[in-house]
Each structure stands twice: as C-alpha cells, then as structure tokens.
C-alpha cells in the first residue's frame, strides 16, 4: 500500500499545475497525511499544458512579504497613510485596489476588496490591504475522507465535487462514493453492472460473477484554453472559462467577454463615462454623446454659432458664443437678452419723476436714459402732477383736506374724498343719555341700550310675561310681571316675595316621640298657614299623599327610625319638581347615600351620638341676628340625643356667624338652592326657651325655616 500511496503523491505533484484548466482546485485531505491525498492519475483537465490559467497568483516582489498577494516592487512606499501631500496624485501607492486622496495635506488610502476579486471562488476571498494591496484568501478545502474519489472545488459552481475513480481500489474491490473501496457486487451479465456514469468507463461482469469497472474516458477537445471535464450524466464536456462569473466566457477562448477579470465588463453591460469599453463593442463610452474634453461646434438657443466642450460626465456643456453685445436694440450674443450689458435697451421707455411729478424717459444712443418728460394731465392724488405749482386744481377740492360745516344746529367737518369731492358733513358732538339728538343724526340716545323712560314687553326669569323700563342711565331695568303667578315658586312681580297672596299646599308628617311636644302645629298657626296644611301621622299616609298631588312645602317631623324607601324616593321627586322640604329625622344614616342626601348637598356621619350642644349651619341666616338661638340644647329624652352630625359637601362661607361648625359638621343644614332644610334631630324633643319670650325655641326655629323656604 505504501508504494501505491507514493505513486499517488508523485502524480498529485505532476497535475497540481493543471488546476486552473479544469476550473477545479485539488486539495490535500486529512491534515497532510499522504494517505489522505485525494487525486487520481486520470485526466481532470488537459495535461498538454495549454489549459493553464494564472491561478497561482502574482509573482513575488522580492520582499517575500507573508500573505502579500501582489508585488509592490518598492513603488509607493513613501506615500503611505498620513504622508504629506499637496494633490491626490502625490498619494499614488501603486495599488489598484485603493482610492488615493489628499485630505488636509495628508494622504488617505481607502481599500476596496471588490477590486481584488479574481473571479475564482475556490482559492478564497481576496481582500485589499491599504499598505500591501491585494491579499489572497483561504482556499476552499474539499475532503470527503473517501480514498477512491477525486475531491476538487469547481470554480464555476463554487462548490466541492467528489468524483468516483475505481482505479484507486485494488482488484477485485470497487469504489463506493460513501464507503470507499468495497467488494464488487455480484452479477450474471454485463447489464447487471451498468451504473449510467460514463466517467468511470463501461462496467462488465467478469467470469467470477463480479462487476468490474472499465477504463475512464480521456476528455480532451484539443483546444488548450477550454476547461475539459467528465460529467457523470452527459460525459465529456469542454467549456471556455468564465473567471468573473458574469455569464460571458473569455473572448480569448471562443467567448465574448473582453475582460474576463471584471464582472462589470461583458456584452450588454451598461457603459460608464470612464474611457473604458464596458459593453465589449471596442468603443469606449459609446453610449454617451461625447467623451470628456472633446469640443464641437454648436448653435445657441438664440441661433448664434458657438463652441461647447464635453464635461467629465460625458455630456456637452453650455454653448459658448463668441459675439459681443452692442447697443443696437438686438440680441447680439443670442442669450435671450437685448442690450443687457448697458443701462437700458435702446428705444425703450420707463417711468420717472421731476420733483413730485410723474413723467416718462426714453433710452437714447449709447443705451443711456434721456431727460424725464413730465406728464401733462393732472390727477386727483394730492400732488402737482403737471408741475404747474398747483395741486388738484382742476377738481372741487384737494384730496385729503378738511373744512368746517353744519348739520342742522350741529357743527361738523367735511373731508375731500376720492374723486376730489367733498364728503358728508360729520357732526363733532358725542351722543349723551339725555333724550336729545346730540349729534344731529336724527336719532335719540342711539348709542345706548335704550332711550331713557322707554318701556317694552319681556319675559321674566320665572318664565312669565312682563315688562321693563329704561332707566335714566339708558339701561334696561328688571323684567317684572304685573302680578304674582301662584305655584311656580318664583318672584314674578319683583317685590322680594314668592307666591305672595297665593293659597299654600302644605303636607306635614307629625309623629311625636314619647313625651315629645308638638312644635310644627303652633309654628303653622303663628304664620297663618295651618288652614292650608294637611297633617298625617304615618309613613304610609305621607307616601300616598305625595303620590296623589303636588305640594308647595312638605314637613317631616319623624321620631321613629323608619321611613320607607318609597317615601324617600317620593320626597326626592317632590324636591326635583320644585317643592320645598323640611326633614327632621333623628336617624338619617338609614339613607346616608340616598339621592335626596346628595340633592341636599350633605354627607351623613356614621355616628349616632350627637354633641350635647348641636350647632346649626345654613347658607344664609334664618334669623334676624346670626346665631340668635345659640347652640341647640335642652333635649328632653333620647329621641333628640340620638341625632347625628351632617357634613356639607359644598364649600360654604361662614360670614356673620360667631360659631362655625368644627370640621364642617353641623346638625342643621340648608341646601345650596335653598329648597331643602335637614334637621338631624327631632325639634319636638327640645323644649327650651333660651330668649325668655315665652315661645319655645323650636317653634321659632320652624317659623324661621318655613319663612325661609316658602314666604
């Protein structure tokens, strides 16, 4: 086996120079072990030497720089990065893959890896080094670890190929591409051995009943530059090289690519303005109208003959006309302008002034303005248009001037308006509220809301018909009805009283606590309202009366701890409909979150324990003197003591009160709209007479509350 390996090694050395011919790169397999060298002694490519390609890289530069792909031959060593320079040409480092520029007096070399691509992917990816130029990449390693296959990298497909070569297997073994040399399969006829691969010869069945391979074909089309190979399907093939992979073979080998090293150059490629022939038609820049620096004759847009020059973008520049402009009223240089090099165009006219007078001037010989000739016609403009020393002299007045005048008995002023005519006489006096026509315009007190003493019909704030009168200050007074409208809870006639003279509908729930004293009935009697009151004694009767009619005032003097939810809902509906309510109830916590409590603007405390001195809190005094009753004391039994605090939910000013509820707490509150009074106790249990007038304080309390809400 060692002799066979030695033979393979020598043969590999012999065919190594033919790698480029077949477009394949032979590789050493198995980390340098001679037994792993996967080559075959057959023809991978023409061995005549004609198919050689320059895959071996550039010649050495004498410096033997490690990894350097192209020689620098010592050129450009003095123009490395940051070398001093004046122009871009000073920075040429002789490396085609770098862009050399002079920036701020220092050389800059920007590498471009694409410029180093040799079109052969099997030898690795080339890169550009700013100092060394193009550097070779790492070659592709193809190794399937099978001794009887030819391992190679195909530059055309950039992929590894593993071709079976039975000659590597000693008889009688044959090559299995996945397992290596194995015993040949048994057979009876040659047909049993055929594998449809023409590259390993024609198989046959030997006398021992085993398949043996034939002799592989020698693929050589006799053309040195083509790549000859055997295809396992179609057999021998020969193709011209396409090193840059642009789909166009090299023109030097029956192809049409005039530069097989540059994928941007091939037939049909777009032409660039660079002096090169990208589309391989032998004419550089032929798709552009001109080549840089080329000159030609042209005609300007004005029809003048001239010369233009092709720019760096292969496009014609501006047509340069040699003619010089003259003062002759013509466009001599065909630039679309006439006499543009002079002050004015010969024969043209323009406006001018002589002092304050408008005129006209004409461009004369030499293209300069002649004398200004004033206009002869006077205009209404407050100027001396005709320069005769007079202004607007042909009109009735001088524009903008004023003069005195009279309108009736009023002095005024006239102004000369457009057209130089006198405008209307405008009185100087200012209208006053006095019943006179001060400014003589035919109207009296027209600058005010009304004429003093005038009256007109209107609608009151109660929604009823009324009238209003203009005050001596020419301002409308209040709108008042001639008489009160009963039942609307509003002061229709503006006398400060509500529904005065109207019969009242009052509903009272009176349920006395044991030992309690009736204070509501005496209060109604003292106010003369008992006759119009309906007094009931139970929650159910109260609820039924609320459902059957409308009431101006409802008074609840309840000591028990029960009012039905239906009654509470109907009391709330009564208030929403415009009615008034006095609710004296010792346990308001039963309905602390009811809509009626929210409507009254209070929050009910959770404690049933009232202070010994219950304070009241109202939005405006109920009594002649604030706090006239002082604190409410003198409860006769627990019915009153078990009252509770109320907390107002609306900010209230306490002006005029000597005692303010601590923390916003009180036992007597009035709602913000003054329709609901809540007594968080039962007045019937308070019998004191603090002022000594012989009338119980709670009777006076009810009188004040009823007066506040109803009268």
With beta carbons less than 8 A apart as the criterion, state whether 62 and 79 touch.
no
For helices 539-548 and 565-576, give the axis angle rounded to 10 degrees: 40
Q: Tell me the pairing of strands 506-511 and 553-558.
A: parallel
With beta carbons less than 8 A apart as the criterion, state whether 421 and 428 touch.
no
- Which residue has better confidence, 319 or 368? 368
The confidence band for 19, taking pLDDT boundaries of 50, 70 and 90, is: very low
Segment 332-376, tens digit of pLDDT: 888 778 988 899 999 999 998 877 777 889 999 999 999 888 777
Please state, in angstroms and rounded to a whole number, the distance separating the CA atoms of residues 523 and 176.
126
b/e per residue 190-200 (b: at least 16 CB within 10 A)? eeebeeebbbb
What pLDDT does residue 325 have?
84
User: What six digits make up the tokens of 688?
Assistant: 């004191």
HSE-CB of 201 using CA atoms within 13 angstroms: 16
Please choose, from the candidates 532, 546, 601, the residue with its C-alpha nearest in 3D space to the C-alpha of residue 577.
Answer: 546
473 CB neighbour count, 10 Å cutoff: 10
What pLDDT does residue 488 have?
72
Average the pLDDT over 248-273 and give the result. Answer: 90
Cβ-proximal residues to 593 (8 Å cutoff; 6+ apart), any chain: none
With beta carbons less than 8 A apart as the criterion, state whether 294 and 308 touch.
no
Please state, in angstroms and rounded to a whole number, the distance separating the CA atoms of residues 629 and 535.
27
Rg (CA), the chain: 61
pLDDT at 441 over 60: yes
pLDDT at 246 over 90: no
pLDDT at 294 over 60: yes
Average the pLDDT over 198-203 and give the result. Answer: 82
Please state, in angstroms and rounded to a whole number, the distance separating the CA atoms of residues 491 and 484.
7
Segment 547-592, tens digit of pLDDT: 998 899 999 987 755 789 999 999 999 999 889 999 887 666 677 7
Most confident of 92-96, 119-123, 198-202, 592-596: 92-96
Please state, in angstroms and rounded to a whole number, the distance separating the CA atoms of residues 327 and 317.
28
Tell me the domains of the chain and their CATH numbers.
84-135 (no CATH), 429-492 (no CATH), 506-710 (3.40.50)
**CA angle, 515 then 521 then 523, to 5°:** 110
With beta carbons less than 8 A apart as the criterion, state whether 175 and 69 touch.
no
Q: Starting from the edge strand earliest in sequence, which strands make up the sheet with 159-164, in order?
A: 24-26, 149-154, 159-164
Q: Which of 10-19, 98-107, 152-161 has the lowest mean pLDDT?
A: 10-19
With beta carbons less than 8 A apart as the criterion, state whether 76 and 183 touch.
no
Segment 209-240, tens digit of pLDDT: 888 877 788 888 888 888 888 888 888 988 88
């Amino acid at each position: 086996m060692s002799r066979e390996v030695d033979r393979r090694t020598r043969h590999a050395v012999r065919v190594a120079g033919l790698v480029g011919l077949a477009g394949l790169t032979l590789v050493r397999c198995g980390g340098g072990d001679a037994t792993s060298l996967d080559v075959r002694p057959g023809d991978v490519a023409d061995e005549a030497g004609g198919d050689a390609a320059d895959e071996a890289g550039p010649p050495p530069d004498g410096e033997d720089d490690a990894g350097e792909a192209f020689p620098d031959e010592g050129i450009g060593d003095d123009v490395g990065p940051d070398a001093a320079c004046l122009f871009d040409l000073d920075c040429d480092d002789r490396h085609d893959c770098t862009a050399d520029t002079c920036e701020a007096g220092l050389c800059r070399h920007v590498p471009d890896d694409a410029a180093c691509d040799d079109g052969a992917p099997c030898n690795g990816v080339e890169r550009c080094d700013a100092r060394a130029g193009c550097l070779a990449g790492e070659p592709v390693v193809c190794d399937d670890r099978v001794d009887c296959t030819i391992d190679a990298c195909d530059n055309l497909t950039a992929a590894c190929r593993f071709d079976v070569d039975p000659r590597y297997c000693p008889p009688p073994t044959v090559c299995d591409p996945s397992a290596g040399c194995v015993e040949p399969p048994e057979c009876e006829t040659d047909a049993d051995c055929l594998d449809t691969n023409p590259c390993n010869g024609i198989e046959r069945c030997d006398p021992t009943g085993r398949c043996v391979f034939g002799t592989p074909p020698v693929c050589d089309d006799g053309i040195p530059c083509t790549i000859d190979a055997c295809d396992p399907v179609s057999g021998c093939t020969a193709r011209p090289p396409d090193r840059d992979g642009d789909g166009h073979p090299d023109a030097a080998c029956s192809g049409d690519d005039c530069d097989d090293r540059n994928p941007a150059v091939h037939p049909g490629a777009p032409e660039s303005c660079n002096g090169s022939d990208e589309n391989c038609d032998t004419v550089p820049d032929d798709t552009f109208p001109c080549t840089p620096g080329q000159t030609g004759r042209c005609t300007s847009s004005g029809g003048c003959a001239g010369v233009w020059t092709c720019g760096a973008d292969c496009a014609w520049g501006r047509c340069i006309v040699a003619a010089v402009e003259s003062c002759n009223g013509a466009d001599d240089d065909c630039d679309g302008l006439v006499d543009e090099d002079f002050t004015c165009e010969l024969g043209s006219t323009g406006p001018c002034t002589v002092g304050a007078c408008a005129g006209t001037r004409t461009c004369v010989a030499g293209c300069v303005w002649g004398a200004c000739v004033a206009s002869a016609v006077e205009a209404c403009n407050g100027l001396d248009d005709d320069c005769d020393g007079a202004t607007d002299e042909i009109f009735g007045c001088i524009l903008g001037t004023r003069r005195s005048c009279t309108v009736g008995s009023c002095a005024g002023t006239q102004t000369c308006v457009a057209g130089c005519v006198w405008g209307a006489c405008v009185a100087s006096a200012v209208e006053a509220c006095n019943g006179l026509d001060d400014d003589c315009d035919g109207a009296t007190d027209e600058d005010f809301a009304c004429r003093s003493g005038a009256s007109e019909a209107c609608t009151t704030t109660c929604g009823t018909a009324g009238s209003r009168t203009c005050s001596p200050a020419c301002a409308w007074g209040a709108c008042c009805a001639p008489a009160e409208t009963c039942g609307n809870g509003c002061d229709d006639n503006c006398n400060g009283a509500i529904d005065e003279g109207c019969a009242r509908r009052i509903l009272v729930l009176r349920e006395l606590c044991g030992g309690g004293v009736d204070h509501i009935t005496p209060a109604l009697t003292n106010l003369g309202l008992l006759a119009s009151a309906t007094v009931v004694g139970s929650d159910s009767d109260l609820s039924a009366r609320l459902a059957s009619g409308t009431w101006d005032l409802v008074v609840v003097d309840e000591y028990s701890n029960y009012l039905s939810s239906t009654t509470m809902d109907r009391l709330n509906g009564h208030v929403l409909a415009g009615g008034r309510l006095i609710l004296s109830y010792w346990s308001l916590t039963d309905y602390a979150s009811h809509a009626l409590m929210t409507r009254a603007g209070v929050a009910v405390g959770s404690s049933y324990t009232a202070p010994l001195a219950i304070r009241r809190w109202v939005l405006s005094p109920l009594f002649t003197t604030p706090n006239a009753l002082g604190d409410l004391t003198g409860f006769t039994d627990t019915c009153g003591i078990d009252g509770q605090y109320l907390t107002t939910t609306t900010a209230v000013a306490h002006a005029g009160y000597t005692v303010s509820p601590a923390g916003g707490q009180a036992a007597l509150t009035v709602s913000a709209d003054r329709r609901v009074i809540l007594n968080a106790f039962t007045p019937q249990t308070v019998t004191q007479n603090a002022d000594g007038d012989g009338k119980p304080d709670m009777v006076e309390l009810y009188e004040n509350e009823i007066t506040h809400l109803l009268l």
